[in-house]
Amino acid sequence: MKQGSGLPVFPGVAIGPAVVYRKAQQEMPVACGDAAVEQKKFEDACAEAKRQLSDLFEKAKKELGEEKAAIVEVQMLMLEDLDYLESVQAEISAGAAAATAALECGESMAQIFAGLDDEYMKARAADIRDVSQRVSSILCGGGGFQLPEGNFILVAEDLAPSETIQLPREHILAFVTQQGSSSSHTAILARTLNIPSLVQSDIALEDAQNCHIFAVDGFTGTWYADPDVETLAVLKQKQDEAAAGRAALEAYRGRKSITKSGKQVLLCANIGSPKDAEAAMKGDAEGVGLMRSEFLYLGRDSLPTEEELFTAYRQVAEIMKGRPVVIRTLDIGADKQADYLNLPAEENPALGLRGLRICLTREDIFRPQLRAIYRASAYGSLSIMFPMVASVWELRRAKALCASVRRELTDQGYPLGEVPIGVMVETPAAAVQAEALALEADFFSVGTNDLTQYTLAVDRQNANLGEFYDPYHPAVLGLLGHIAKCAKAAGIWAGICGELGADPKLTETFIQMGYTELSMAPGRILETRKLVCESEV
Ligand code: PEP
Ligand code: MG
């Protein structure tokens, strides 16, 4: 048995096989100098890519049906396309490394397809890119992981949001990563999925790879590779106790969240997709306080269409059956990158072109999203919320765009619901200016993850900053009090949707400050309701 520790981000115990997720090497290998060797590497990589695609085809056929799976078949055909194979061969003969040739020839072909008039052929550009990137990634040492049968514990150096979005979530029992922080998006996903997880762990990927059984104790922050019989028995007992604790919380299902003195709060869920909305309902959420809409844009090769977005928002609205749903507009940038947007590389992405800043500079991206939200508003109770607001003019400009989209849709005859517009308060500037913003917003929701990062100038992703990332810092709590006061004075509601919203040590404090909504991972709702109902405040 080997064991070690990490920072627990969600309690619980998981036991199962470990699967190691490895990132592809970022650096392109250089040519070895022998074209025949490079050519052989390319052919082997194509064979491996075909094998992977054939697995994917079978999976897609089962889960999505034959018609959708055909996309994968098209990608497999490209690996037999003579134009592609011959152009790669020519580049290799001219001295290029196999990985570079595979990627560059794929890109040239993709550009030709992207320039065609026929919409279907145009759309094939993304498939061509996808296949050539797959071949190149295999030549770079491979990325991703082999999917086992059944459920497993995922062990990785770190996971980017664009990677987590592609994971088979229903099969993951726990995450263990070497990097990450408690407010990183891997931790947020673990909480959404209700699975015990450790970040900043001292696990060696080889130890996870070579063991038969792996276990995670999210209560103590311990991992075990091949736990011995006694340890396994203790872990299983903890699992049973946790299940009993969850069963006891069922007494709070369907109840209102009201303190003993009569203060009511709405306990809502944070979600990223229609599937998460189902988890929200299962968790007994009274609404969705934060839909991280950017997850609909990650893990893919092109922008989602207005129609795709509309379908997703409509699904969420319908699943939530009239309960309020706050959709945060696209918050891409920083750790959430979509390569196809071709945004310029930045030295300080957390302070760069992200969130509302992208939307205000790229109407071609923002308008379709707003149209989709407004169209879906006829099917439930939707609100819009803007992320990363720092100035009043930004809110005004975004609201003007909303008004213009609304007019356009009304003229086109679409039925629309009422759609309140709120500000996500997550920059110190927005917090300090809460009084002015409250006059122009219908509600506030505080993003404590970023508010802590920006107030304390501490990178939320940086695993080495540990205790310096302190959401209990008086500066952060002072801003939280100020925001609630300004909201109350303006007669608007204020909520908290950062990770602090589920912190049991602060539930009473937030209610006393005047917050009337707390939004959190679906699995935290019943325990928070118990706290609220037992509270005297
Ligand atoms: C936040 O910043 O607190 C928040 C809820 O948004 P995200 O974690 O997606 O940045
Ligand atoms: Mg944020």
Please give the distance, rounded to the nearest whole angstrom, from the Cα atom of residue 188 to the centre of ligand 1: 9
131 or 537, greater pLDDT: 537
Mean pLDDT of 17-21: 91
What pLDDT is attached to residue 320? Answer: 98
Please give the distance, rounded to the nearest whole angstrom, from the Cα atom of residue 409 to the centre of ligand 1: 30
What pLDDT is attached to residue 143? Answer: 58
Q: Which of 188, 288, 331, 456 to mutate to test the pocket of ligand 1 (most atoms within 8 A of CB)?
A: 331
Mean pLDDT of 407-432: 98
What pLDDT is attached to residue 24? Answer: 61
User: Over the stretch 254-289, which tens digit does the pLDDT of each residue have?
Assistant: 999 999 999 999 999 999 999 999 999 999 999 999
Please give the distance, rounded to the nearest whole angstrom, from the Cα atom of residue 388 to the centre of ligand 1: 9
Q: Which of 140, 211, 486, 497 is catalytic?
A: 497
Please give the distance, rounded to the nearest whole angstrom, from the Cα atom of residue 187 to the centre of ligand 1: 12
Residue type, 473: H
What pLDDT is attached to residue 229? Answer: 96
Count other Cβ atoms within 10 Å, centred on residue 218: 25
Nearest ligand to the C-alpha of residue 446?
1
Answer yes or no: are the C-beta atoms of 494 and 445 closer than 8 Å. Answer: yes
The H-or-E segment that residue 496 falls in is strand 493-496
User: Over the stretch 137-181, which tens digit does the pLDDT of each residue have?
Assistant: 888 876 556 666 789 999 999 888 777 777 888 899 999 999 988
Residue 339 to residue 355: CA distance in whole angstroms: 16
Answer yes or no: are the C-beta atoms of 458 and 182 closer than 8 Å. Answer: no
> Is residue 110 classed as helix, strand or coil in its secondary structure?
helix
Q: Given a cut of 70, is residue 25 above it in pLDDT?
A: no
Nearest to 349 by CA among 337, 363, 334, 360: 334
Q: Given a cut of 70, is residue 435 above it in pLDDT?
A: yes
Write out the two tokens for 533.
């109902």
Please give the distance, rounded to the nearest whole angstrom, from the Cα atom of residue 424 to the centre of ligand 1: 9
Mean pLDDT of 29-55: 88
Top-ranked range on mean pLDDT: pick from 120-124, 126-130, 159-163, 375-379:
375-379
Min mean pLDDT across 302-306, 358-362, 459-463 is at: 459-463
Residue 448 to residue 457: CA distance in whole angstroms: 13
Please give the distance, rounded to the nearest whole angstrom, from the Cα atom of residue 25 to the centre of ligand 1: 29
Of all protein residues, the one whose alpha carbon is nearest to atom 10 of ligand 1 is 450
Nearest to 441 by CA among 498, 497, 402: 402
Q: Look-up: residue for tokens 């699967």?
A: 19
Mean pLDDT of 508-515: 98
Answer yes or no: are the C-beta atoms of 381 and 317 closer than 8 Å. Answer: yes
Q: Which of 105, 140, 185, 359 is catalytic?
A: 185
Nearest to 294 by CA among 356, 246, 346: 356
Top-ranked range on mean pLDDT: pick from 73-87, 98-112, 118-132, 468-482:
468-482
What is the CA 43 to chain-centroid distance, rounded? 35
Write out the two tokens for 136.
């190149």
Q: Which of 164, 294, 497 to mutate to test the pocket of ligand 1 (most atoms within 8 A of CB)?
A: 497
DSSP code of residue 537: -
Residue 100 to residue 32: CA distance in whole angstroms: 12
Residue 193 to residue 188: CA distance in whole angstroms: 9
The reply to whether 171 belongs to the active site is: no
Q: Give the ligand 1 atom nearest the CA of 270.
A: 5
What pLDDT is attached to residue 69? Answer: 73
Of all protein residues, the one whose alpha carbon is nearest to atom 6 of ligand 1 is 447
The reply to whether 402 belongs to the active site is: no
- Ligand 1 proximal residues by C-beta, below 6 Å: 290, 292, 331, 426, 447-450, 497-498
120 or 444, greater pLDDT: 444
User: Over the stretch 235-255, which tens digit does the pLDDT of each residue have?
Assistant: 999 999 999 999 999 999 999
Answer yes or no: are the C-beta atoms of 155 and 178 closer than 8 Å. Answer: no
Residue type, 121: M
Q: How confident is the model at residue 193 (pLDDT cuts 50, 70, 90)?
A: confident
Mean pLDDT of 177-187: 85
Residue type, 47: A
Nearest ligand to the C-alpha of residue 519?
1
The pTM of the whole model exceeds 0.95: no
Q: Which of 268, 276, 288, 292 to mutate to test the pocket of ligand 1 (most atoms within 8 A of CB)?
A: 292
Of all protein residues, the one whose alpha carbon is nearest to atom 1 of ligand 1 is 447
Per the DSSP assignment, residues forming a β-bridge with 328 are 292, 385
